[in-house]
Structure formats: structure tokens, C-alpha cells
Amino acid sequence: MDEQAAVADIRQWWRGGLYILIFSLGAWAWGSGLLPVLLDHWDDITFLGRQHIQLVAISGGLAILIGVPAGVALTRSRFRRYGDVAMQVLNIGATIPTLAVLALSMSLLGIGNTPAIFALFIASLLPIVGNTMAGIRAVPPYLRESARGMGLSPRQILWQVELPNALFVIYAGIRTALAINVGTVPLAFLIGGGGLGELIFSGIALNQFGTMLAGAIPTALLAIVVDFIVTQFQFWTIPRGVNPMR
């Protein structure tokens, strides 16, 4: 209980510090003329921001919808022998720079939205599949044994024992994947995918500091917001007994 109180205390301080920081940032932004520039670009920011979010949502959503079941499948007895190979492939895949993935995707699918989404999907898929597999593999064998010994079917063992106990690691994979995703979306501009990258790269090319920041700041905020949302999911959907956050 004392520990919790101490943690709450520290959080209070953090929050206070954060407010002060935001306030002084805002003051500085107005004073230096940054904020007026951002307001100038407001229409661009909302339009491209929406595109940006769409790219993240579609590619990330697909990656979760396909990655988690794929990771689960690779731990089932039928496919288990491919698990180690898959893990190796995933580890090697994760070392390929996302820019290279985009370039490869463009050479396959041309330019536009589709190759961008495909590349982002692939880049996000790897950590999700990897963590899903790792999480389920890390469930202690005796939990499976006692579940099996008491007469749970393989499906019941998956839903009642394996998934809940692997959930934290699976979420960690999703968090990593979405962080990579949000951070890579600006590069999608390079293959004609749109998004806030348009402002960033135009700003750099035209040497317009304000335009670049009009792309960069919303991108950074978006990354923070996405991470916050996943963290909330993690906090509320993982059972308290296996949730290190509660």
C-alpha cells in the first residue's frame, strides 16, 4: 500500500511537471512565431493527418488481425515444428530497415497507397507475430498440464489459459509494432502514400522550418497518443492476476 502511495505521489509530480513544460513550450512557440505557422498550415495538417491516421489504422489493424492468429497458429501442435524457423525469419526480418521495406514494396506494387500500406503492414506484422509466439511459449508448461489434466479442450486451454497469460507480451508486441508504424508512415510519402510526411519532406526540401515542424509535431503527438491508447488497453483488458501494471 505504501509503495502504491509513493507511486501515486511520483505520478502527481510528473503530471505537475508536464503541465509546466507544456505551458512554457506553448509560450515559446507563440513567441518564436511557430504557432502562427502551424495555424497557417492547419488545413494541410488536418487533411494529411487524417491520411496518416488512415495509413496507421489500416496497416496496423491488418497486422494485428493477421499477426496474432498467425502467432497463435505457430504455437499449435500442427505447426509447432515451423515455429523455430518462423522465429528466425522474423528476427532477420526485423533487422531490415523500414525504408528498405518501403522500397521493396514499391518495386513490387508500384507507387501510391497500396504499396505503402503493404510495407507498413509487413513492418508491423513481424513484432506482433514474434511476441504472440514468444508470449504463448512462455506460459509455464505446468499450467497447460493442469488445464489438460482437468479436462479442458485445446481450445479452452488457449482461450482460458494461454492467451490471458500471454496477453501482456502480445500487447508489448503491438505497442512496438504501432510505434514502428507511426514512425514509418512519414516515409510513405516517398512512394506516394501521402500522410504528414508530405509536410516534413516539403519543409526540408524548401528549407521551410515551419512547414517541416507542421508535419513533425503532429507525427510525434500521434505516436504518443497511439502508445497511450495501447497502454490503456493493456491496463484494462489484462486480468489483474497477471497484469504487472495493476
Partner 1 sequence: MIRLEHVSKTFPNSTTPAVDHVTLEVPEGEICVLLGPSGCGKTTTMKMVNRLIEPSSGEIFIGDRNTADYDPVQLRRTIGYVIQQIGLFPNKTIEDNICLVPDVLGWERSKSRARAAELLDMVALDPGTFLKRYPKELSGGQQQRIGVLRAIAADPPVLLMDEPFGAIDPINREIIQDEFLKMQARIKKTIMFVSHDIDEAVKMADRIAIFRDGRLVQYDTPDNILAHPAESFVSDFVGGDRTLKRLQLLTVNDAMQHDPPRVTAEDTLETAAAIMAEHGHQAIVIVGPRGRARGYVQLSVARGGKGKVGENHETLPTTVKPGEDLRTAVSTMFRHDVSWLACIDDEGTFKGYVTLRSITRLLSEAYRDG
Q: How far is the CB of 215 from partner 1 (least distance, A)?
A: 42
**Which one of residues 10, 99, 111, 143 is an interface residue with partner 1 (CB under 8 A)?**
143
Q: Are 105 and 119 in contact (CB under 8 A)?
A: yes
Residue span binding partner 1 (CB under 8 A) among the ranges 73-81, 152-160, 195-203, 216-224: 152-160
**Range list of H helices, the chain:** 2-31, 34-40, 42-73, 80-95, 98-109, 113-137, 141-149, 154-157, 163-188, 197-205, 209-237
Size of the site for partner 1 (CB under 8 A): 21
**Which one of residues 165, 176, 184, 219 is an interface residue with partner 1 (CB under 8 A)?**
165
Q: How far is the CB of 137 from partner 1 (least distance, A)?
A: 16
In the bound state with partner 1, the residue whose beta carbon lies nearer, of 27 and 242, is 242
Q: Could you give phi then psi for residue 41, rounded to 5 degrees? A: -90, 10
In the bound state with partner 1, the residue whose beta carbon lies nearer, of 31 and 244, is 244
Residue type, 223: A
**Which one of residues 31, 77, 95, 151 is an interface residue with partner 1 (CB under 8 A)?**
151
Cell 504472440 appears where?
Answer: 132
C-alpha cell at 28: 515559446
Phi-psi region of 151 (alpha: psi -120 to 50; beta: other; left: phi over 0): left
**Which one of residues 160, 231, 232, 237 is an interface residue with partner 1 (CB under 8 A)?**
160
Residue span binding partner 1 (CB under 8 A) among the ranges 9-17, 50-58, 148-156, 205-213: 148-156
Q: How far is the CB of 143 from partner 1 (least distance, A)?
A: 6
Closest-CA residue to 128 (of 49, 76, 74): 74
Provide the binding-site residues for partner 1, judged by CB under 8 A.
140, 142-143, 145-153, 156, 160-161, 164-165, 239-242
